[in-house]
Amino acid sequence: MLHLHLTAIIVSLILFIAVFAMYKKNNSSDNKPALILHMVLRVFYLLVLFSGIMIYVGNMEGISAAGSHMQYGIKALLGILSVVFMEVAVVRLKKHSASANVLLVVTLILIIAAVIMGSTLPLGMLSF
Ligand code: HEM
């Protein structure tokens, strides 16, 4: 499940950057390639959420035993917020809102925090 989580995150990040850049160039509703890629991105959001929740639920006993409830709770929250902010940033850009750039920065900060926290928690690749 961790492999699915990581793969879905990497694909989502690439798609998010591509969709954001495409709407930045042309954010009219007839930008069909961006619209289709945005749909694909939404499927990958679901995969990120599903795999994250499955890791969380599947390791509940170990998490309790290690006493790391709080860190896992914060990690899951950062993950969910990252997905929400990615979607909101793209939609704001589509609706010609000036706040899209601010949202992009907030989104990137949330993603960096989620990646650092996920990698350093017990199941992560940077955990020793
Ligand atoms: C864009 C959003 C997200 C990003 C960037 C992200 C990033 C990561 C990364 C990099 C890892 C470490 C994977 C590894 O080293 O093999 C990880 C693990 C994990 N993620 Fe996410 N994640 C996101 C969303 C979520 C969501 C929505 C949830 C749950 C609701 C979640 C729950 C977890 C859990 C429980 C782990 C295992 C933590 C550990 O012990 O290492 N993640 N995540």
Supply the pLDDT for residue 46: 98
Write down the pLDDT at residue 100.
86
Quick one: pLDDT at residue 5? Answer: 97
| Cα 48 to averaged position of ligand 1 atoms, centre (Å) | 8
CB atoms within 10 A of CB 125: 9
| pLDDT score for 78 | 97
Q: Which residues of the chain have pLDDT under 70?
A: 128
Atom index in ligand 1 nearest the CA of residue 6 equals 13
For residue 114, the CA-to-ligand 1 centroid distance in Å is 7
Q: What integer pLDDT is reported at residue 127 of this predicted model? A: 72
Would you state the pLDDT for residue 73?
92
**How many whole angstroms separate alpha carbon 13 and alpha carbon 119?**
16
In sequence order, what DSSP letters do the residues of 100-123 get, joined into one string? Answer: HHHHHHHHHHHHHHHHHHHHHSTT
Instruction: With residue 125 as reference, give the H or E element that holds it.
Output: none
The residues, any chain, with a CB within 8 Å of residue 127's CB and separated by 6 or more, are 119, 120, 121
